[in-house]
Amino acid sequence: MLKNLFVVLFLIFATNSIAQKPNSREKDSIKNVQDSIKKADLIKNIGNGFMPFNYFKADLRYLVKFNQYEGFRTGLGGITNDRFSERFRINTYLVYGFKDKAFKYRIGGGFRVDEPSNTWINLSYTDDLSETGSSNFLTDKRFFTFFEPRLLNIDLFHKHITKAIAIEHRLSNHLLSETQFALSKIDPTYEYNFVLDDRTYHTFDLSTAKISLQWSPFSTFDIVKDRVETVVDGYPKFTLQLTQGVKSVFGSDFNFSKIDFRTIQQFNHKNDAITKITLVAGIAGGETPLTHLYHAYPNNITKETILQRFSVAGLNSFETMYFNEFFSDKFSTLQLKHYLKPFKISERFKPQLVFISRYAVGNMRSIDRHQGINFGTIEKLYSESGFEINKLLFGFGLSFAYRYGGYHLPKLEDNIAFKFTFNISL
């Protein structure tokens, strides 16, 4: 009897022990999966320029930057996350420039009025700098790089104090929109006067209304955690933005209109090569000051020799075009990039050769309105071609570009740009 009882107890104990092992393994497996998800989420956030914390995400864009006007620019910024609130968010930053010895900041926030269409109403107050001649699309996804190459050499900024209200709305999975009304006080940091009707403006007020549309007809989407996320990034993509400046509304000084357009096409070849084509165009009419006109993404310093001009190549900039060399009230640029399949020298060393050609054309009416600054226009076709060898060491590579055609310069070395590249992905 005791023997039988012992055997039964032994079998129960053994069975229970065996049954517990899979559970322990299952728990370990679940924990490993959860850890992997957390790591992947952390890497994704850092790749998008954020460091996540409990109730907010620190914005890595504001940690350290450098340009010719501010010198080193450093500060802190961030945005609250869903743990703070799924309906409200705060988005703000504070930075300091060591060369101009000035603080810049933004105080902003928003509230969601409709979850299915991801409709947000955002309010902001910004006191900062903006590059003269730059034009950004409201609907652009937040783009982050560990440093911005063009920013290192920019010296033409205007100060602005801007109060804005904006509405983000997803019309469909393929069509995003954002509408903004803004009041801005503009103060160029350089010698510039805008002459209009026998009156000279160095500082001025603007009231602007913008609507921006981004259409991605060939992308595919899926619902992830009750949110629409891009599964396949399809091409081509189209972005259109309309801007209207209105005179006498809240003290605005000028009437003007702008239309900006961009399309991106990408071909993925069977041999793992990629061809990318980017077309950008813009036109401004009416009483548009230089601050709100167009440059053509220049990225070359005005120095004597090639080595003195040696810096870091941009992602979509004209490497042989000198800063402040050209401005336009209507322009178009075409960029062609062909990425060869990376050379697999080892598992960690995979350099990639990229062939590049860039073209720009533009013009400006009433050029005599803009006084105090010298620049040219690009009625002829501006052309440059070259190549990059990327990811040679720690994400760094080399770039070579040559300027030819209608704006070829008499001195040979003035047409050549030789620079670093920096490409890293997480």
Q: Which amino acid is at 220?
A: T
Confidence of residue 12 (pLDDT cuts 50, 70, 90): very low
- In 3-state terms, what secondary structure has residue 71? strand
Measured CA to CA, the distance from residue 313 to residue 301 in angstroms comes to 11
**pTM for the whole structure:** 0.86
Mark residue 198 as left, alpha or beta (left: phi above 0; alpha: psi -120 to 50; beta: remaining): left
| Residue of 170, 132, 109 whose CA lies nearest to 293 | 132
Number of H helices, E strands in the chain: 1, 25
- Residue 15 confidence (pLDDT): 38
Mean pLDDT of 364-393: 94
Sequence-distant (6+) residues with CB within 8 A of 33 are none
CA dihedral 396, 354, 239, 149 (to 10 degrees): 30
Confidence of residue 223 (pLDDT cuts 50, 70, 90): low
Mark residue 74 as left, alpha or beta (left: phi above 0; alpha: psi -120 to 50; beta: remaining): beta
Of 127-131, 323-327, 400-404, 420-424, least confident by mean pLDDT is 420-424
> Are 256 and 284 a contacting pair, CB within 8 Å?
yes
The Cβ of residue 270 has, within 10 Å, a number of other Cβ atoms equal to: 5
Measured CA to CA, the distance from residue 305 to residue 308 in angstroms comes to 5
Res 145 pLDDT > 80: no
Mean pLDDT of 390-402: 91
Sequence-distant (6+) residues with CB within 8 A of 95 are 62, 73, 74, 75, 76, 77, 103, 104, 105, 128
- By DSSP bridging, strand 318-322 and strand 298-300 are parallel
Instruction: Quickly tell me which residue has 């006007």 as its tokens.
Output: 69
Cis-peptide, bond into residue 410, ω within 30° of zero? no
Sequence-distant (6+) residues with CB within 8 A of 188 are 132, 158, 159, 202, 203, 290, 291
> Are 347 and 391 a contacting pair, CB within 8 Å?
no
> Are 122 and 89 a contacting pair, CB within 8 Å?
no
- Residue 236 confidence (pLDDT): 95
For residue 277, what are its two tokens? 């084509």
Mean pLDDT of 110-129: 94
Q: Which range among 195-199, 221-225, 321-325, 392-396 has the greatest average pLDDT?
A: 321-325
- Residue 198 confidence (pLDDT): 86
> Are 298 and 325 a contacting pair, CB within 8 Å?
yes
> Are 151 and 314 a contacting pair, CB within 8 Å?
no
Longest C-alpha distance within the chain, in Å? 117
- Residue 315 confidence (pLDDT): 85
Q: Which amino acid is at 66?
A: F
- Residue 51 confidence (pLDDT): 85
- Residue 40 confidence (pLDDT): 61
- Residue 281 confidence (pLDDT): 97
Measured CA to CA, the distance from residue 270 to residue 277 in angstroms comes to 18
- What is the helix (H) or strand (E) element at residue 15, kind and residue range? helix 2-47
